[in-house]
Structure 1
Amino acid sequence: MSRDAELLALLEAERERQVDFLQRFARIDTANPPGDTRQAADLFRAFLDKEGIAHRTEAPKADNPNIIAGFEGGKGPGRHLVLNGHLDVFPVGDRAAWQRDPRSGDIADGRLHGRGTVDMKCGTTALLFAFACLHRLREELSGRVTLTVVSDEETGGKWGTAWLLENCASEVTGECVLNSEPSGLATVRFGEKCMLWLRFTIAVKGGHSAYPHTGGSANKVAAALIQDLLAIEKMVPDEPGTVRTTLDRPEVRAAAELSLGAGAAEVMRRVSVNVGTIQGGVKINMLPPQCVLEVDFRLPVGISRAAVLARVAEIAARHPGTRFEELLPGGPEANVSDPTHEMMGHLLRRAGALAGALLASPPQPIVSLGGTDTRFWRAKGVPAFVYGCSPAGMGGVDESVSLAEFHHVMKVHALAAWDYLTSARS
């Protein structure tokens, strides 16, 4: 039996155990906020203990534990591969809107239901089992494999991946990173847009609405401000050559649209502006003296935070009484790894070969619309790649994940990791 076949046989033999683990994980409340992941971390630690894999916990906040597990290959020094997934998920929202209990873990029509099953309880579980499988075959491997299972991803990662990379760098930095956030089976993500969150406060005199000439309306100023901010979406990015060449390919554009919806190929390469909250006014017949907007700018590769902030400052200066502040100062830029990196080749080849009826055409490399913890590794120059299940339903009511995709993603990561760790010595 080939090593590929042996690895796949190990994973196939544990399908029931894999689904049972994912069900139990789905039934644990890890909504962030509040972000308490202690019970979920216990589930992962118990699994690692049973597998005989060394691990330890780093908890800069008591209710936000992060697990580091790792092993050395039996064939001596080699590459250091890091696997990364998170425990926390989006809040449930309006429970009454759900047809099933958001933490049911129910299985119906080949899908497992529950909040966070897509983002990213299925992906973190897939990495756990891929990691355990590699551990069983460790005598055939060179180098080191590290698994990081973190908290706080949904609220920025300060107490999760960012903390680990600052305080446990020698253990978790590695030379390449695999992550299984939902990407869609048709795409492998080699980069991502960045978030720039701004709060605008508009203050004017206000007064009685019958006398608009005496005090002005903060809400009217806000309406004009929003129109000017939306024009930032027309900024043209200066993409690196390899990124531009990759994203220009028709098959890449088609894969992005297939995985992320019609229009995704265009959104991937421009600024998007979302006015997330507006708070202004006291009463219908009063001129609002204050209005507060919170705006989420997503910047593509090739447009810097500084460039957008400069444009915003110009716009704000044109609107009386307007000031703004950055909510996440010092955040990362839009970031990419080399789309021609060896690991990208392993992921594309393995995903295409294993997909069967799940994919009509070969997967393609794209840039992510949303953020993941891989940005922290890219900021340190470490190549990082994302391959996961479909993002459809992520964070929505009645979230559920395809079990066929769950098993597929697990196999792709296990085989791509194997290829990367063994190719260095071949």
Structure 2
Amino acid sequence: MSGRDRLIHWLDSERERQLAFLRAFTRIDTCNPPGDTTEAADLFCSFLDDEGIGHRTEAPRAANPNLISSFAGTGNGHHLVLNGHLDVFPVGDASRWSRSPLSGDIVDGRVHGRGTVDMKCGTTALLFVHAYLHRLREELPGRVTLTVVSDEETGGRWGSDWLVKNCAAEVLGDCVLNTEPSGVQTVRFGEKSIYWLRFRIAVPGGHSAYPHTSPSANKIAASLIKDLEAIEALAPEEPEVVRCTLDRPDVRTAIDQSLGAGAAGVVRRVSVNIGVMQGGVKINMLPAECVLDVDFRLPVGLSRASLLKAVQAIVARHPAVSCEELLAGGPEANYSDPTHEMVGHLVRNAAQRLGYEPKPIVSLGGTDTRFWRVAGVPAFVYGCSPAGMGGIDESVSIEEFHHVLSVHALSAWDYLTGVTRG
């Protein structure tokens, strides 16, 4: 039996073990905030120990450990990095859930619990990919490195960003695979930039019966919001390979199918979300202060500097408004070559199981792959459907979980062995 055939055998014969691990992982609280992932990291370490795979921990903050597990095959070859995260969104009001947010229950072919979609199913899949490739290391050239990180949900400063900056020799590699929820109809080769700004409006304020004595901070905020929405008309200068890919009708259709009707247009423009608005003290008082926290998502081809210039021009029209960055120094919108050989492997292996080819797209949301792309390493995302991500009664399809695991395992094998299949 060939190495690839043995890989397929394990993918099929160990499904119960794969599912059991995902359910155990789901039952561990890794909500961020607060972000303590030590128990989950211990679960992963125990699995690696059982498989006889070496690993170590990098923990710039004690409650946010990051795992690195790396092994060499035989001879020279590609260095493939697998990247997933432990932390998940907060639960919110648990009383609104149909069952415990940490249940790991199986109902209607789905595993239920917070973070099952984003991204406990994906990180579990990569753990098993790493283990299966390790079993075949005598037949693999090159190197495989698994990075399982904390702090993804709050920006990655102590997770992937920290590893890329402080452990580059170990974790950069030649290519990165990530299993964030993308929808099985698409392979993500790039993502928009996240840019958060806080706007503060300060005026004297006063009694609402005397509006001639002071402007209203809330009214100024309303005018500012209308002006900020105009930023959505800024046109990006897309690189040709991105433009040609996103212009394809089949790609536009896949984006809408995966992310919802209208998403194909949002991928290529700025989005402006007034995430938080706080102003006023009492109904009969003129608000003296209002604060807006605004989430801008920039498409590939539009720089943060260009957006900030447009914002500053708007702020200049409102003397009572000041502006500050909440995520300073973040990465620009980024992309890898959509014709990279790894995209071909992912598309081919997925199509053999789906009956159709997933399409290469740019992501609306952010992932840790941006840290590798900014460092010059091609990085790609293929994962389960994002439906229900972060919502009440979050759950993931077991069928999609096994599908994503198989596609990544076989694509990793093909990439490392240099096999091209028709």
Per-residue CA distance 1:246-280 (angstroms, 9 max, x = gap): 00001001111111000110000000000000000
Whole-angstrom CA distance in 1 between matches of 2:259 and 2:39: 32
Structure 1-normalised TM-score?
0.97
Per-residue CA distance 1:45-97 (angstroms, 9 max, x = gap): 00000000010001110000000001111x31211000000000000001111
Tell me the SS of whatever aligns to 1:408: helix
1:411 aligns with 2:406: yes
Determine if contact 2:3/2:139 at 8 Å carries over to the other structure. Answer: no
Amino acid at match of 1:6: R
Residue 48 of structure 1: aligned partner: 48
CA shift, 1:425, in A, is: 11
Residue 324 of structure 1: aligned partner: 323
In structure 2, relative to structure 1, the CA distance for the partners of 1:165 and 1:85 (3 Å cut) is same
CA shift, 1:11, in A, is: 1.3
Residue 125 of structure 2: aligned partner: 126
Residue 367 of structure 2: aligned partner: 372
Whole-angstrom CA distance in 2 between matches of 1:173 and 1:22: 27
Tell me the SS of whatever aligns to 1:302: coil
CA shift, 1:346, in A, is: 0.6
| Percent of aligned positions that are identical | 71
Whole-angstrom CA distance in 2 between matches of 1:425 and 1:274: 44
Whole-angstrom CA distance in 2 between matches of 1:216 and 1:256: 44
Whole-angstrom CA distance in 2 between matches of 1:318 and 1:88: 41
Determine if contact 1:221/1:320 at 8 Å carries over to the other structure. Answer: no
Tell me the SS of whatever aligns to 2:153: helix
CA shift, 1:216, in A, is: 0.9
Determine if contact 1:79/1:424 at 8 Å carries over to the other structure. Answer: no
Residue 141 of structure 1: aligned partner: 140
CA shift, 1:6, in A, is: 2.0
Whole-angstrom CA distance in 1 between matches of 2:148 and 2:115: 15
Amino acid at match of 2:382: Y
Amino acid at match of 1:111: R
**What are structure 2's unaligned runs of at least 5 residues?**
none
Residue 381 of structure 1: aligned partner: 376
Whole-angstrom CA distance in 2 between matches of 1:180 and 1:354: 17
Residue 79 of structure 1: aligned partner: 78
Whole-angstrom CA distance in 1 between matches of 2:164 and 2:297: 24
Tell me the SS of whatever aligns to 1:214: coil
**What are structure 1's unaligned runs of at least 5 residues?**
none
Determine if contact 2:117/2:396 at 8 Å carries over to the other structure. Answer: yes
Residue 112 of structure 2: aligned partner: 113
Q: How does 1:325-364 map to 2 (within 5 A)?
A: 325-356=324-355, 361-364=356-359
Residue 273 of structure 1: aligned partner: 272
Whole-angstrom CA distance in 2 between matches of 1:354 and 1:134: 20
Residue 234 of structure 1: aligned partner: 233
Whole-angstrom CA distance in 2 between matches of 1:251 and 1:414: 26
RMSD: 1.1
Residue 37 of structure 2: aligned partner: 37
Whole-angstrom CA distance in 2 between matches of 1:146 and 1:363: 26
Q: How does 1:174-323 map to 2 (within 5 A)?
A: 174-323=173-322
**Among 353, 377, 394, which residue is 1:399 paired with?**
394
Amino acid at match of 2:51: E
Amino acid at match of 1:51: E
Tell me the SS of whatever aligns to 2:391: coil
Deviates more, 1:131-140 or 1:174-183: 131-140
CA shift, 1:355, in A, is: 2.1
Whole-angstrom CA distance in 2 between matches of 1:145 and 1:285: 64
Whole-angstrom CA distance in 2 between matches of 1:242 and 1:61: 40
Structure 2-normalised TM-score?
0.98
Tell me the SS of whatever aligns to 2:213: helix
Per-residue CA distance 1:210-254 (angstroms, 9 max, x = gap): 111111100000000000000100111100000000000010011
1:93 aligns with 2:92: yes
Whole-angstrom CA distance in 1 between matches of 2:302 and 2:178: 25
CA shift, 1:2, in A, is: 4.2
Whole-angstrom CA distance in 1 between matches of 2:251 and 2:341: 18
In structure 2, relative to structure 1, the CA distance for the partners of 1:163 and 1:97 (3 Å cut) is same
Whole-angstrom CA distance in 1 between matches of 2:215 and 2:13: 70
Determine if contact 1:78/1:424 at 8 Å carries over to the other structure. Answer: no
Residue 152 of structure 1: aligned partner: 151
Amino acid at match of 1:423: G
Amino acid at match of 2:54: A
| Number of residue equivalences | 421
Amino acid at match of 1:266: G
Amino acid at match of 2:126: L
Determine if contact 1:173/1:377 at 8 Å carries over to the other structure. Answer: yes
